[in-house]
Amino acid sequence: MGSNIFSILNTAKLGLLSQQLAIEVTGQNIANVQTEGYSRQQVNFEATTPRSFSLGQLGTGVRVAGIERSHDEFLFSQILSEGDTLGRFQVRKDVFEQLEILLSENNGQSLNQTLSSFFAGVQDLSSNPTGLPERTSLVAEAKNLASVFNNLGESLFQIQQNLDATISVKVAKINSLTKEIAAFNQSIHANEPTTFSANDLRDKRDQKIKELSGLIDLNFVDEQDGQISITLNDGTPLVLQSTAFTLDTSINGNNKSFLDIVVLDGAGNSTNITSSITGGTLKGYLDMRDTEVEGLRDKLDRLAAGFVQEFNKIHQQGFGIDGSTGNNFFNALTTTVLTNTSNTGSATLTATNGDPSNISVDKYEITITGSNSLSLTNLTTG
C-alpha cells in the first residue's frame, strides 16, 4: 500500500512540476509580447516510462520533453528574401528623392528656367543686335547657364561620393553582424549538447540574420549541430558555422577611384564580389552610384557639350560688330582625360582636340595592349 501511495504522489508531483514550468513559460511569453525578435515558446510534454506488472503497464506521470520556439522556417526564409529587396529599393527611393530636389523646377535656378532665360536674352538681342545692354545681358545669362551646368554636375558627383562613403559604412556593419552571427553559432552549439534548444540565443541570432538580409543578399543553411552557414546568392561564403568571412573595400582606379567590395579568405587573399551582390542596401548604393547617378551625369555632360557645340555652329555663321565671322560664343570644348589610378609605371596620357568644331561628346577608353599598340573603345555606343 505504501508503494502505491508513493507512486500516486510521485505522479502528482511530476504533473505539478511540469505544469509549473508551463506556467513559467506562459509568463515569459506574456512578459516579452513587445520584445522585438522574441519567438513565442511552448512546452512539449511526454509520458514518463510506465511500470510493468502482471496485468500490463501503468503510467507513472508526465514530464517536459522540451521547450520549443514557435518558428516557421519557410516564413523566415521569405522574410529574408523580401528583406534584401526592400533594402535595395529603399535606397533607390531615398536617392531619387535627393535627385528630385536637385533637379526640381522649384529649386530657384533650375536648368529649364536658366535655359529659358538664356533664350529670352537671345530673342532680345535679335531685336537689337548692336544694343550694348542686350549684349551684356546675354553674356551674363550665358555665364549663369554655364554655372548651373557646372553646379549640377558637381552636385551629382557629390552625391556619388556620399554614396561611396556610405558603402564603406555598410561593409563595416555587415562585418559586425557576421561576427555576431558566428559567435551565436558557437554559443548555440555549446549550449545544445542535448535535445533542448537554446531558444533565446536562436532568437537573437535570427534578429541579426534579418538585419543582415536588409544589407546584402543571402542564403542560409541549417547545419545539423544547430549552427547555420550564410552565403551570397552566388555561393560566396559570409558565415560558415563559427567562422565569419570579412568583407573589405578596394579602390577601383578605373571607376573614379570609387570603392569595390572584396571578400577576404583569411589567408590574405581577396576576391572582388562587387558584381556578385544582388540585393540589400549595399546593392542599392552600388546601383545608384554607378548606374543611376552616373547615367544622369553622363546625360548632363552630353546635353551641355551638345548645346555648346550646336550653339557655336550657329553663332559662327553670324557677324560681330567689327565685321568678323566664324567666332565661337562659348569657349571651345576641351577633352577630359581620366587616368586609371591603378596604372603602373610613369607614363602619362594626354589628348588634344584637333577640331573643336567637330568634337564627339562620346566617352572613349584607351587600353595599352603592347609596347607599341593600343585599343580604342567607344564606351557610349559600345
Domain boundaries, the chain: 2-70, 72-331, 332-382
Q: What is the pLDDT of residue 281?
A: 96
Please state, in angstroms and rounded to a whole number, the distance separating the CA atoms of residues 364 and 337.
10
Q: What is the pLDDT of residue 1?
A: 42
pLDDT tens for residues 43-95? 887 888 877 776 777 777 788 777 778 777 788 888 888 888 999 999 999 99
Q: What is the pLDDT of residue 365?
A: 72
Contact 163, 293 (CB under 8 A): yes
Q: What is the pLDDT of residue 107?
A: 62
Q: What is the pLDDT of residue 27?
A: 86
DSSP string for residues in 347-374 = -------S-GGG-----EEEEEEETTEE
* 3-state DSSP of 288-327: HHHHHHHHHHHHHHHHHHHHHHHHHHHHHCCECCCCCECC
Mean pLDDT in consecutive groups of 10 residues from the start of the chain, 382 residues: 69 83 84 80 80 74 78 81 90 95 76 92 92 93 93 94 96 96 92 76 92 93 87 92 93 82 87 93 96 94 90 90 89 70 66 63 71 73 66
Region of residue 14 (phi > 0: left; psi between -120 and 50: alpha; otherwise: beta): alpha
Q: What is the pLDDT of residue 2?
A: 43
Distance of CA 82 to the CA centre of its chain: 14
Q: What is the pLDDT of residue 231?
A: 93
Contact 37, 67 (CB under 8 A): no
Written as nine digits, the cell of 47 is: 509520458
For the chain, the first-to-last Cα distance in angstroms comes to 97
Q: What is the pLDDT of residue 145?
A: 93
Helix (H) or strand (E) holding 95: helix 73-102
Q: Does the CA dihedral 12-16-17-21 come out positive or negative? A: positive
